[in-house]
Amino acid sequence: VQSLELINEVILKMVTIIMNLAPYGVFALLTKAMAELGLDLIWSLLGYVAVLIGSLAFHFFITMMIVLKLFSGLSIKTFLAKMREVQIFAFSTSSSNATIPITLRTVTKRMGVNNSVASFTVPFGATINMDGTAIMQGTATIFIANIYGIDLGVTEYLTVILMSVLASVGTAGVPGVGLIMLSMVFAQVGLPIEGIGLILGVDRILDMLRTAVNVGGDAAVTAIVAKSEEKMDVAIYNDPAAGTKDVFDGHIDEDNEREFSQVFSDGIMGSEYDDIDRRR
């Protein structure tokens, strides 16, 4: 057991060293790329960011909402309003897995989905539903191919689509892991792996956006499944105030805080008196 702990400490130390050196490596890659490709690379990179943001927005607000309306008949406006807290949390953490408790609470308390459905679809969706990541991988592949002047044929495009979907399914719900899976896509179509360094500098904000899209898809599918299986209370879904008390809004009631402080201090003082009595 001690040897395993030592190995774990060594690996963690190696990861820490790599993370500390990563910014310098990214800077070196960008410098080399700009020296070879010119300052036009900056405009191309801005174009990549704009295209990816537009694609994510179109997928969530158009494609996903049409699917939700067609297969469930639920109000799109109500869904977007009740998903606001979830997507803000997902945007800030860039992790679908970390957002699971917030998503579960929202779909059950605010949307009226039965827990028997939500407890299966939400964790399952956080594992395999990475549509935002799939969009990023396809867009990034085409962007890098254009930067390096590599022509992709029909076969390569089909490979990109297939690998993007498969890689997104196998992607863990943690920040930044989509770039690791992107290397698999690059390898399959013959693109230079170092091209990933070109998008590392802007990927953090894009990672936050695609995580928000991912959790939105999880909730939408959960609502569709629950509605089709009659495991959903539509009255709760249509009630704007339903479940609002279960969502923390940052406000702390002063009376509750005072009561908690009193109970906490009484507990500490009581335990101290008990210790004194035992020592006597």
Residue range 213-236, pLDDT digits in tens? 989 999 999 999 999 998 999 999
> Please, which residues bridge with residue 232 across strands?
113
More confident residue, 248 or 30: 30
- Whether residue 276 lies inside any domain: the answer is no
- Whether residue 149 lies inside any domain: the answer is yes
- Whether residue 249 lies inside any domain: the answer is no
Q: Which backbone phi and psi does 112 adopt, to 5 degrees?
A: 80, 20
Say what percent of the chain tops pLDDT 90.
Answer: 23
Q: Are residues 76 and 21 in the same domain?
A: no
Across 40-67, average pLDDT: 89
- Whether residue 268 lies inside any domain: the answer is no
- Whether residue 259 lies inside any domain: the answer is no
Confidence band of 250 (pLDDT split at 50, 70, 90): very low
pLDDT at 21: 76
pLDDT at 54: 94
Q: Are residues 1 and 120 in the same domain?
A: no
Across 201-206, average pLDDT: 79
Domain enclosing residue 3, as ranges: 1-38
Q: How far apart are CA 42 and CA 53, in angstroms?
A: 17
Q: Is the pLDDT score of 114 beyond 80?
A: yes
Q: Are residues 99 and 32 in the same domain?
A: no
Q: Are residues 69 and 22 in the same domain?
A: no
- Whether residue 46 lies inside any domain: the answer is yes
Across 240-261, average pLDDT: 59
Q: Is the pLDDT score of 251 beyond 70?
A: no
Per the CB < 8 A criterion, the answer to whether 135 and 60 are in contact is no
pLDDT at 257: 53
Q: Are residues 103 and 180 in the same domain?
A: yes
Question: Into how many domains does the chain fold?
Answer: 2
Confidence band of 129 (pLDDT split at 50, 70, 90): confident
Q: Are residues 27 and 92 in the same domain?
A: no
Q: Are residues 76 and 207 in the same domain?
A: yes
pLDDT at 1: 63
Cβ atoms within 10 A of the Cβ of 147, count?
Answer: 21
Average pLDDT, the chain: 79
Q: Are residues 97 and 63 in the same domain?
A: yes
Q: Are residues 33 and 52 in the same domain?
A: no
More confident residue, 50 or 160: 50
Q: Are residues 47 and 164 in the same domain?
A: yes
- Whether residue 262 lies inside any domain: the answer is no
Q: Are residues 126 and 17 in the same domain?
A: no
Is pTM beyond 0.85? Reply is: no
